[in-house]
Amino acid sequence: MKPAAFDYHAPATVESALALLCSHGEEARILAGGQSLVPTMAFRMARPGVLIDINRIPGLAHATADGGTLRIGALARHAWFETPRIAGPLGRLLPVVAQHIAHAPIRMRGTFCGSLAHADPASEWCATTLALGGTLVLAGRDGHREVAAEDWFQGVFTTAIAPGEILIEVRLPLLGDDWRCGFAEFARRAGDFALAMAVVALRIEAGSVREARIGLGGVGGRPVLASMAAAALIGQPPGEAAARLAAMQAAAECDPQDDIHASAAYRRDLVGTMVRRALAMAFAS
Amino acid sequence: MSRHVVRFTVNGEAQAVEIEARSTLADTLRDACGFTGTHLGCEHGVCGACTVLVDGVPLRSCLMFGVQADGAAIRTIEGLAAPDGTLNVLQRAFQEHHGLQCGFCTPGFLMLATWMLEREERLTEDGLRHLLSSNLCRCTGYQGILDAVRAAAKELGKWGEAAGVQQTSVTRGAGHAPG
Amino acid sequence: MTWVGRSIRRLEDPALLRGEGRFTADVAAGARAVRFLRSPIASGRIGSLRPPPGMPPGAIFVSAAEMAGIGTIRPMLHRFAYRAVEQPVLPTDAVHFVGQPIAAIAAETAALAEDLLEEIEVTFDAATPVVDIASALRPDAPQLHAVAPGNVAVEGVLASPECAAAFASAPHVVEFAFRSGRQNASPMEARGGCAQYDRSTGRVRLTASVQMPHMLRTGIAELLNMPEADLQVIAPDVGGGFGQKMALFPEYAVLVWLARKHRRDFAWIEDRNENLMASAHSRDQQHRLRGAFAADGTLLGLEAEILANVGAFSAYPTTCGVEPLMAFAEYPGPYKVPAYGARARGVLTHTCPMAPYRGVSRPAITFGIERLMDRAAARIGLSPDDIRRRNLVDSFPHRTVTGLMLDEASYVEALDDAVARLDIPAFRLRQAAARAEGRYLGLGLAVFNERTGYGSPAFAARGMGIVPGYEVVDIAMTPGGEVELRIGASPHGQGLRTALAQIVADRLGIAPAGVRVIHGDTDRTPYGWGTFASRSMVISGGASQEAADRLATRLRAAAARVLQAKAEEIVLRDGQAVSANGSSIPIAALARQVHQRSDLFDGHNLAETAAYDPEGTFSNACHAAIVEVDPETGHVRIERYLVVEDAGRIVNPMIADGQVRGGVAQGIANALFEEVIYAEDGNILTGTLADYALPTAAEIPAIEIHHLETISPATATGAKGLGEGGAIGAPAAIANAITDALAPFGVEIAEIPATPPRIRALIRSSGRGA
């Protein structure tokens, strides 16, 4: 399976990358990690006439705390997150999630931002960014634009990115020390896309949940922010009863489809279990 | 379609080739440079048979274009043995522990394991299986491969329980709270 | 120093470890790259087919129209109501499965050939396909081939009044119906061939990733109406086969045709998507099994209804009968079955054709009969191991009700050994304690025998038009004292070079490194049948042993001359020929003398040949799996996997264990992960390795292996085959373990792979699951 022919550019600056993107329009695709794009090109499902390789652009390879956010640049690789980048609950959550992404060699090359741009509904970073209320920063000819995570995912492999834009950075809010996070996913094999996953972040104060965020993945065309499930936790003492309540609610909030790997019923069932297990992790942490 | 002159080193030797942009690193190494030791098992990034080291990093060479390797230092299976063909510690361990049968997936496993054994972190049993789950084998049932890499790690002083980062269990079903 | 029985390091390894193996793609540099246009529809006719307009110079388009005058692929079976289905190399009009090759482009590079494929002008008139057994058997179903009305390509029926009587009077009748999901053997190296044309001789050398080089040569020559002497087939280093690479595929015929027609080199290197879609599939079967049991658990009769979905064509040379008829003949397995009735059918559908895959039908029949045993045990109140003990053949030789001769083996002993290692009472306590905590552990057993090393009598009994079976080995010692062994078997990872070297080394008193095994090249090896069906150790091993013994006789006669001693008293050991009085000569020096001083000896060469064509021999094993099932997700974790197996004399324990482990991994995959899935329109939905779930090291546990050694007279070396056994026992052991684990839910596994969604669905519908 050999890709269709294309012209290749490796610009040295974001500006020249944007210029190329604008002049070639729909024919052009950005190449960062390539771990999702290149296989689709091998199958000739994706046939960009122009590839714009951003790997040589300086200033994009960072994942650092800045003010109240973790700023993740376009060339931050999945593997960087296998060890904590920062202190605190967010720093502890990200390695737990990263371990589940594909396999080590893919993590060495694939990028965090690339996952968000690709928007596979079973992508761990997509569910995480949605759960945590991240912000996506887009670079265009006219400057930068920010999109909230909950406005980013529009469908299977479809995002709010506009023509001529590059996803240049994702910002995740740092969580205070009174926050606790949890993650759970279930896949058929090591490294597979999850059949369902849950990312949770909670703030507990005086024995009850005060704030909660629950993100679900693998259960439909895009990640789901289970806001009603999260709301169900507010005021509850942490424990199994609250987890079951939230799990039931979360299962009802998503709309998985049947496919060759699992029925909708199975995924709905499974996501409830993943929510419970993610909450158990959060409660115990 | 653009063609490019690309320069990189393979196992320390300079290569300069003129290739189509769409030629993957795997095809570039095999066809343009003649290093047929790197094998293509799927061409869509799942099987890992095409794994090589690029600037010390294990990558699936079918998921990268040759043109992206300009300036890189690439290591392939052909660079593991000594110039006179003497097998290195890892290769000998594969032979000792029956880590190969048909040999087709072997280049990918050897390069993956080379990276695993050259890292700072020591290997643990969990980490061993987790990392080796990156690549597919149809002949061995994996046990010989695990035994070989474990033995090589011990011989190279890279085996031990993790003193640093706690690895969470990442085998399937890892939705349980860490125990 | 004896070599048989020692885990010496494989002679094959160093080159492979250095990346210096030569696989088919590695010899293809300089050849024109061939890519195939494959049918996007499962059934219908080609409306029009035209080459791309404006092909670059040197690019070639080929379809059936260009390849006039060639034959069709038409394997034969002379029994069992076999319908002689014909497969065109490239179709002229009708297409029969998605992925069927219908045209080819050759160009300077594969990428360019793929570009040109997209420019081919082709139209189709699509028709409604049938992809599953039930649809294909409906009276109004579309018929794939006029020669096979009702879409049944082959049928075996054994009606038995004894069986009917047994069922009528039996106190217990136990039934079990189940389904085995379609598999793709998925060797890590997909198929591929490189046809090189030699202008000085007019011959074509086809280097191809195959398991049966001589068969392929004969078959292609016949297909293309060309002199066989003008074709050389070489199986180089081959990256796994597992049976998928046994068949004569049309793609190879196209390559040879192109080479002859255009007098240059052409190569086709299959990609993974093609392999998943269009190579060969296996194990798509549905069985209904009934057992009549006495009150004490003795099996009185067995009845089987077997349906195999064999795809659109019949693989050459085994025919599509291989799966249904093997189940038909071998269902009784290792058990005493006094009365047996069966009906087996191979059903044609618009899907990729079937070829044998490691174990063939034995994984399914073992799944069936082992589940039946567990069911009967539960019904009657026996333990799973007791009911098996009661029914296993324990005196040999034993002629089965279908006429197979079971030779000396250890069916009961292997079960007892496994049971002793399992400590089942302790497990039951642990299981009960776990259940109280809401955790579900289970134990499953599988006892089976494996028919191995069977020669032409067995294939003839099936009525095959082409009867494989024998192996010939040519042995020769060079003047320098090395031995060259030329074999017709065709190993592809089994370590046969090493194992045969061990056998020969023992017989000749030399070291294995001095034995070079030459295989895979039809120009350099005697006619033989390749490597499949767990045959090579037995048959090539037996022939090698005999050939070595004959060479040893020559060496002793020559040494007798030199040492002035009696030939019968000469011993060959440690590289020396030693006489009774202690005088000796190095074997290498002797070899040089015989060649270069023929005036001093009676014979002038050190070359011999031997053939072996045995009836066959049965190895056996007991597999046991302990699993934990997560009822919430349906995940199955294998806590322990035990194999107690008996393959007679083990030539190289390390290699033998590797075969068992590899087989068990594929069996576990069959039980839990892999399934080829078709849409109703015949499109394949599992066309990538992301969808067709080959297990990784994270899914395959460590396998404990223990060997028993029963030496049987049915195999000259004492070695039995064991390559397939791992794959045979695992589905049954795992399925039985899951069923045992989920007994509180009343769940039974009757379909493999038992994926998490399927297990979860069973738990939910049991009404007892949360």
Q: Per-residue pLDDT for B163 more than 70?
A: no
B50 touches B105 (CB < 8 A): no
Spatial distance between the Cα atoms of C299 and C63, rounded to a whole number of angstroms: 56
Structure tokens at B79: 């660079």
Structure tokens at A25: 């329009």
Q: How far is CA C182 from CA A236, C137, C342, C671, in A?
A: 49, 18, 22, 11
The 3-state DSSP class for residue C143 equals coil
- Asked if A284 lies within 8 A of B63 by C-beta distance, the reply is no
Q: How far is A223 from chain C (nearest CA, A)?
A: 20
- Asked if B141 lies within 8 A of C111 by C-beta distance, the reply is no
Below-50 pLDDT ranges, chain C: none
- Asked if A189 lies within 8 A of C685 by C-beta distance, the reply is no
Spatial distance between the Cα atoms of C553 and C610, rounded to a whole number of angstroms: 13
Q: pLDDT: is C544 or B168 the higher one?
A: C544
Quick check: pTM over 0.95?
yes
Query: Which residue in chain A is spatially nearest to C695 when comparing CA positions?
Result: A189
| Best to test chain A binding among C114, C276, C632 (most A CBs inside 10 Å) | C632
The structure tokens 């400590």 sit at C423
Below-70 pLDDT ranges, chain A: none
Q: How confident is the model at residue B179 (pLDDT cuts 50, 70, 90)?
A: very low
Q: A-B interface: how many C-beta pairs under 8 angstroms?
A: 123
Q: Per-residue pLDDT for B175 more than 80?
A: no
| Sheet (strand A196-205) strand order | A179-186, A196-205, A208-217, A224-225
Give the whole-number percent of chain B exceeding pLDDT 90. Answer: 89
How far apart, in Å, do the first and last CA atoms of chain B sit? 55
Q: pLDDT: is B171 or B84 the higher one?
A: B84
Spatial distance between the Cα atoms of B163 and B151, rounded to a whole number of angstroms: 20
Helix (H) or strand (E) holding B37: none
The residues near C410 (Cβ < 8 Å, ≥ 6 apart) are C620, C646, C708, C710
Chain-centroid distance of CA B173 in Å reads 26
Average pLDDT over residues B132-143: 98
Write the DSSP assignment of C456-509 as a string of letters: HHHHHHHTBSS----EEEEEEE-TTS-EEEEES---SSS-HHHHHHHHHHHHHT
How far apart, in Å, do the first and last CA atoms of chain C sit? 63
Q: Which chains form contacts with chain B, at 3 or more CB pairs under 8 Å?
A: A, C
Q: What is the DSSP letter of A33?
A: S
Spatial distance between the Cα atoms of C423 and C427, rounded to a whole number of angstroms: 6
Buried b / exposed e over B4-22, threshold 16 CB at 10 Å, is bebebebeeeebebebbbb
- Asked if C662 lies within 8 A of B140 by C-beta distance, the reply is yes
A2 touches C110 (CB < 8 A): yes
| Best to test chain A binding among C633, C688, C700 (most A CBs inside 10 Å) | C633
* Residue of B81, B106, B136 with shortest CB distance to C696: B136
Nearest to C685 by CA among A264, A259, A102, A256: A259
Nearest to C274 by CA among C117, C123, C61: C117
Spatial distance between the Cα atoms of C540 and B74, rounded to a whole number of angstroms: 43
- Asked if A261 lies within 8 A of C271 by C-beta distance, the reply is no
- Asked if C673 lies within 8 A of A273 by C-beta distance, the reply is no
Question: Is B170 part of the contact surface with chain A (CB cutoff 8 Å)?
Answer: yes
Q: How far is C690 from chain A (nearest CA, A)?
A: 7
Structure tokens at C198: 């030699």
Mean pLDDT over all residues of chain B?
Answer: 91
The residues near A235 (Cβ < 8 Å, ≥ 6 apart) are A208, A209
Phi-psi group of C339: left, alpha or beta (phi > 0 → left; psi -120 to 50 → alpha; rest → beta):
beta
C128 touches C142 (CB < 8 A): yes
pLDDT digits (tens, 9 = 90+) for B58-90: 999 999 999 999 999 999 999 999 999 999 999
Spatial distance between the Cα atoms of B29 and B62, rounded to a whole number of angstroms: 10
C74 touches C86 (CB < 8 A): yes
Question: Is A198 part of the contact surface with chain C (CB cutoff 8 Å)?
Answer: no
Q: Please name the residues between 85 and 144 in chain B that touch chain C, using a CB distance below 8 Å.
A: 85, 87, 91, 94-96, 98, 100-107, 110, 129-130, 132-144
- Asked if B139 lies within 8 A of C663 by C-beta distance, the reply is no
Q: How far is B134 from chain A (nearest CA, A)?
A: 5
Q: How far is B136 from chain C (nearest CA, A)?
A: 6
Identity of the amino acid at A23: S
C310 touches C334 (CB < 8 A): no
Query: Which residue in chain C is spatially nearest to A272 when comparing CA positions?
Result: C632
Question: Is A12 part of the contact surface with chain B (CB cutoff 8 Å)?
Answer: no
C103 touches C279 (CB < 8 A): no
C448 touches C728 (CB < 8 A): yes
pLDDT of A151 reads 98
Q: Which phi and psi (to 5°) does residue A136 adopt?
A: -105, 130
- Asked if C685 lies within 8 A of A262 by C-beta distance, the reply is no
- Asked if C632 lies within 8 A of A273 by C-beta distance, the reply is yes
B49 touches B26 (CB < 8 A): no
pLDDT of C770 reads 56
pLDDT of C769 reads 63
- Asked if B36 lies within 8 A of C492 by C-beta distance, the reply is no
Spatial distance between the Cα atoms of C406 and C712, rounded to a whole number of angstroms: 10
C719 touches C538 (CB < 8 A): yes
C245 touches C238 (CB < 8 A): yes
Spatial distance between the Cα atoms of C77 and C85, rounded to a whole number of angstroms: 10
Strand C231-234 relative to strand C203-208: parallel, antiparallel, unpaired? parallel
Spatial distance between the Cα atoms of A233 and C455, rounded to a whole number of angstroms: 70
Spatial distance between the Cα atoms of C23 and B38, rounded to a whole number of angstroms: 11
Q: Which residues pair with C307 in a beta bridge?
A: C286, C345
Q: How far is B84 from chain A (nearest CA, A)?
A: 30
pLDDT of A110 reads 98
- Asked if B139 lies within 8 A of C657 by C-beta distance, the reply is no
Structure tokens at C716: 């000259």
pLDDT digits (tens, 9 = 90+) for C527-578: 999 999 889 999 999 999 999 999 999 999 999 999 999 999 999 999 999 9
Which burial class, exposed, middle or buried, applies to A263 when counting CB atoms under 10 A from its CB (0-12, 13-18, 19+)?
middle
Q: Per-residue pLDDT for B172 more than 60?
A: no
Strand C483-487 relative to strand C471-477: parallel, antiparallel, unpaired? antiparallel
Using a CB-CB cut-off of 8 Å, the residues of chain B touching C492 are: 102
Query: Which residue in chain A is spatially nearest to C763 when comparing CA positions?
Result: A266
How far apart, in Å, do the first and last CA atoms of chain A sit? 47
- Asked if C111 lies within 8 A of A191 by C-beta distance, the reply is no
pLDDT of C711 reads 96
Nearest to C760 by CA among C636, C632, C627, C626: C632
